[in-house]
Amino acid sequence: QVQLVESGGGLMQTGGSLRLSCAASGLTLTWCAMGWFRQAPGKEREFVAAISRNGGSTDYVDSVKGRFTISRDNAKNTVYLQMNSLKPEDTAVYYCAAVYSGTDTYYTTNRAEYNIWGQGTQVTVSS
């Protein structure tokens, strides 16, 4: 069974840090471009960060640039999202997603291109 499982969410004060993990089972992330998305109450799911299958290419939504870092450990079949300087507007359910990639450098910010999704982990930032 193909599965992505996020963990590491929780309640944090403004300015704090959290590291989200996305562990895969039933698929090899080495062959996948990965993304993190988030969805706040009443809002659409939005792109947060993406990384190519070799980790050499990354992209971020402007609102998290300089604060969040996406990374991956293919040996552990896991992708991470390090979130620093958290703000109340970062409060959302965070989802990781995967899409098989034919090249080392491909990644996408387009939600529709991802076809494997985790169940999400809640991040709440208090002011």
Count of alpha carbons within 13 Å of 19, Cβ hemisphere only?
Answer: 10
In percent, the amount of the chain with pLDDT more than 90 equals: 98
Virtual torsion, Cα 109, 111, 116, 121, nearest 10 deg: 90
Virtual torsion, Cα 10, 12, 17, 21, nearest 10 deg: 10
Question: Residue 28 carries which side chain, given as an amino acid letter?
Answer: T
What is the model's pLDDT at position 96? 98
pLDDT digits (tens, 9 = 90+) for 39-77: 999 999 999 999 999 999 999 999 999 999 999 999 999
**Which residues, including other chains, have CB under 8 Å from residue 44's CB and lie 6 or more apart?**
none
Please list the residues that pair with 19 across neighbouring strands.
82
